[in-house]
């Protein structure tokens, strides 16, 4: 394992008192270096499972883990745990017969939609020679009507889908139309006993969050990853966890098998949510390549990780071991449109600007003298020209604060302005933003320059004590 000795020398030259800290960091780095490579590489197999006749059936989720596939009396039962609330699911049938799958999805948003895209198998999955026939190999991709789940509950969603022979079906799940605020609660590290964990879960429930992100060092509160998952599933929200040092120092394979992938890019509208395993203080080449492959988004982006990728801090508790890696990661994050880094390596709650990024550090729950807080992130689909608000006091006279936006009240369509006056009677405010390209006969404030409907998701955050 190569160690960045020049980096250590530079750190010591600038401050000899770092000698003891550098020795500790080197020992930690040497002990954990191989593990971080293994953790990242192992994720590639977590999200996919081959089964059936000569393994010709393949189920995949991104991100997440395919837990099992069992042949029942009339269908294959496939169990999926998603690492994000809106995963992409792929089902490939390389057999020369139609197959029925009953897919049980856990940790997905209960209101998600299931659009279906169907097409030919990729070349590597044409195990049956009959799948090479032009009838199958050249079938175009087409969109079908969204699937309707058989079961839709806060804890599970079950859907049956019949896969024709030599065919691949993709369910690129998406939120239901984002007209309401989508809330994410982020909890810092240090939830290291059951009392602190239960208190944090209660705070997340009170916040009204649909998704809750934990920034590591909490599996010890439950005793095992599976016990932790059981506790967290009772909260009525979906779960995302970036591992901390206690997770990677323990049975990290069991952690991955339970919670799925830990390095991935998720979307809500045009909002990018990026998760990264930084618990060992360094990244693998695969992780860096993942960051550098990200395409820019039109919306905002946030990174959730245990240790912040601060460039220039040297060997410390607050940054990755390699400054070269940190600089490379920050450059990739900037190109991808990620502007906010959310971490939890500090005992205190800190917000500051670093290297052009907004750095939000959530204080560790077990730090003395620090009141526990969660970070409440609100994702909204904005209506152009309307101000954001926390209460009606932030709005102009005659407006109401609804879904964190100042909006005009109404009772009928005629009471709303614009070329498409429409009143949302249920919420008592005017609809102004476009819902589809057909709403845009000409360029306008809510339509793009070429008269297409623009969905530009926006995020705002605030502290919430508990």
Check residue 297 and give its pLDDT: 77
* pLDDT tens series, the chain, 466 aa: 333 434 433 443 444 443 333 333 333 333 344 577 889 999 888 999 999 988 899 999 999 999 999 999 999 999 999 999 999 999 999 888 999 999 999 999 988 889 899 998 877 777 677 787 877 778 888 888 889 999 888 889 999 999 998 999 999 887 765 556 889 999 999 899 999 999 999 999 999 999 999 999 999 999 999 999 999 988 889 999 999 989 998 899 999 999 999 999 998 877 899 999 999 888 899 999 999 999 887 678 999 999 988 754 433 455 677 788 888 999 999 999 999 999 998 888 999 988 889 999 999 888 888 889 999 999 876 554 556 677 787 777 778 888 777 778 888 877 776 555 678 777 788 765 555 555 555 555 455 555 555 556 778 899 999 9
Residue 33 lies in a domain: no
Listed in sequence order, the residues at least 6 apart from 174 whose beta carbon sits closer than 8 Å to its beta carbon are 86, 112, 113, 115
- How far apart (Å, rounded) are the C-alpha atoms in residues 65 and 45? 8
Quote the CA–CA distance of 335 and 70 in Å, as a whole number.
43
d(CA 215, CA 226): 17
Among candidate residues 178, 169, 173, the one with its CA nearest the CA of residue 152: 173
> Is residue 31 in some structural domain?
no
Q: Which of 152, 172, 192 is the last residue of a domain?
A: 172
DSSP state of 444: B
Sign of the dihedral defined by the CA atoms of residues 437, 141, 44, 251, in that order:
positive
CB 330 within 8 A of CB 355: yes
| Total length of the chain | 466
Burial of 28 (0-12, 13-18, 19+ CB in 10 A): middle
Alpha-carbon torsion (2, 4, 6, 12), positive or negative:
negative
At residue 306, the pLDDT reads 93
CATH number at residue 82: 2.60.40
Residues 399-415: tens digit of each pLDDT:
888 877 777 888 887 77
Residues 163 and 213 reside in one and the same domain: no
The DSSP code for 104 is E
Residue 10 within any structural domain of the chain: no
Residue 463 lies in a domain: no
For residue 267, which phi and psi values (nearest 5 degrees)? Answer: -130, 145
- For residue 19, give both structure tokens: 């000698």
Are residues 117 and 215 located together in one domain of the fold? no
| Three-state secondary-structure class, residue 328 | helix
In a domain, 43, yes or no: no
Identify the helix (H) or strand (E) that includes residue 228.
Answer: helix 225-233
| 372 belongs to a structural domain | yes
Q: Does residue 203 sit in the same domain as residue 248?
A: yes
Q: Is 140 helix (H, G, I), strand (E, B) or coil?
A: coil
CA-based nearest residue to 146, from 171, 178, 109: 171
Is 20 a member of any domain? no
Pick from 375, 382, 342: nearest CA to 360: 342
Q: Are residues 234 and 322 in the same domain?
A: yes
Q: Are 186 and 155 members of one domain?
A: no
Residues 122 and 187 in one domain: no
Q: What is the domain extent for residue 442?
A: 392-457
DSSP 8-state secondary structure symbol assigned to residue 437: G
Last residue of a domain, one of 145, 172, 199: 172
Judging by DSSP bridges, how do beta strands 64-71 and 156-163 pair with one another?
A: unpaired
Q: CB neighbours of 405 closer than 8 A, spacing ≥ 6?
A: 380, 382, 383, 386, 387, 388, 389
Q: Are 381 and 174 in contact (CB under 8 A)?
A: no
Q: CA 103, CA 92: separation in Å to the nearest integer?
A: 13
The neighbour count for residue 276, using CB atoms within 10 Å, is 24
118 and 229 share a domain? no
Q: Are residues 421 and 344 in the same domain?
A: no
Q: Which residues contact 169 (CB under 8 A, 6 or more apart)?
A: 90, 91, 92, 116, 117, 118, 161, 163
Pair 149, 223 in one domain = no
Secondary element (H or E) of residue 201: helix 194-207
Q: Residues 95, 224: one domain?
A: no
Token pair recorded at residue 64: 């997440």
Q: Which pLDDT score is estimated for 82?
A: 97
pLDDT tens digits, one per residue of 76-94: 999 999 999 999 999 999 8
Same domain, 186 and 329: yes
Decide if 440 contacts 453 (C-beta within 8 A).
yes
Q: What is the pTM of this model?
A: 0.77
* Closest to 229 in 3D by CA, of 247, 255, 193: 255
pLDDT of residue 66: 97
Domain assignment present for residue 222? The answer is: yes
Q: Do 193 and 55 share a domain, yes or no?
A: no
Task: Give me the residue label for tokens 């008192």.
Answer: 17
> How many domains does the structure of the chain reveal?
3
Domain end point (choices 146, 172, 198): 172
What is the model's pLDDT at position 311?
56
């Amino acid at each position: 394992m190569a160690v960045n000795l020049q980096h250590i020398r530079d750190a010591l030259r600038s401050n000899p008192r770092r000698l003891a800290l550098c020795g500790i960091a080197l020992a930690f780095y040497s002990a954990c270096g191989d593990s971080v490579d293994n953790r990242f590489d192992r994720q590639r197999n977590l999200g996919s499972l081959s089964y059936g006749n000569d393994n010709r059936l393949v189920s995949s989720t991104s991100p997440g883990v395919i837990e099992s596939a069992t042949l029942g009396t009339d269908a294959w039962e496939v169990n999926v745990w998603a690492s994000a609330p809106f995963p992409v699911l792929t089902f490939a049938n390389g057999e020369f017969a139609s197959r029925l799958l009953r897919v049980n999805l856990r940790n997905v948003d209960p209101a998600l939609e299931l659009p279906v895209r169907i097409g030919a198998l990729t070349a590597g999955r044409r195990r049956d020679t009959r799948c090479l026939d032009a009838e199958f190999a050249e079938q175009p991709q087409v969109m079908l009507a969204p699937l309707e789940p058989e079961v839709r509950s806060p804890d599970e969603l079950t859907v049956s889908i019949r896969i024709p022979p030599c065919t691949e079906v993709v369910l690129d799940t998406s939120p239901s139309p984002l007209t309401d605020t989508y809330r994410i609660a982020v909890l810092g590290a240090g939830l290291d006993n059951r009392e602190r964990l239960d208190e944090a879960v209660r705070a997340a429930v009170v916040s009204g969050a649909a998704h809750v992100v934990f920034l590591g060092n909490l599996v010890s509160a439950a005793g095992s990853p599976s016990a932790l998952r059981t506790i967290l599933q009772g909260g009525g929200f979906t779960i995302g966890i970036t591992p901390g040092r206690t997770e990677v120092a323990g049975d990290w394979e069991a952690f991955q098998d339970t919670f799925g992938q830990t390095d991935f890019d998720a979307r809500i509208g045009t909002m990018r949510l990026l998760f990264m395993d930084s618990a060992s203080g360094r990244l693998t080449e695969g992780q860096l390549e993942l960051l550098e492959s990200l395409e820019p988004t039109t919306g905002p982006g946030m990174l959730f990780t245990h240790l912040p990728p601060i460039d220039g801090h040297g060997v410390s508790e607050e940054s990755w071991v390699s400054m070269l890696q940190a600089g490379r990661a920050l450059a990739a994050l900037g190109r991808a449109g990620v502007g906010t880094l959310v971490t939890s390596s500090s005992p205190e709650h800190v917000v500051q600007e670093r290297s052009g990024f907004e750095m939000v550090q959530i204080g560790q729950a077990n730090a003395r003298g620090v009141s526990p807080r969660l970070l409440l992130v609100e994702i909204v689909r904005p209506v152009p020209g309307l101000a954001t608000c926390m209460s009606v006091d932030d709005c102009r006279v005659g407006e109401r604060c609804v879904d964190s936006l100042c909006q005009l009240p109404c009772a009928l369509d005629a009471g709303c302005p614009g070329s498409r006056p429409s009143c949302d009677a249920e919420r008592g405010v005017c609809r102004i933003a476009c819902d589809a390209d057909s709403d845009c006969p000409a360029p306008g404030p809510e339509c793009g320059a070429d008269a297409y409907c623009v969905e530009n998701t926006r995020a705002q955050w605030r502290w919430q004590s508990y």
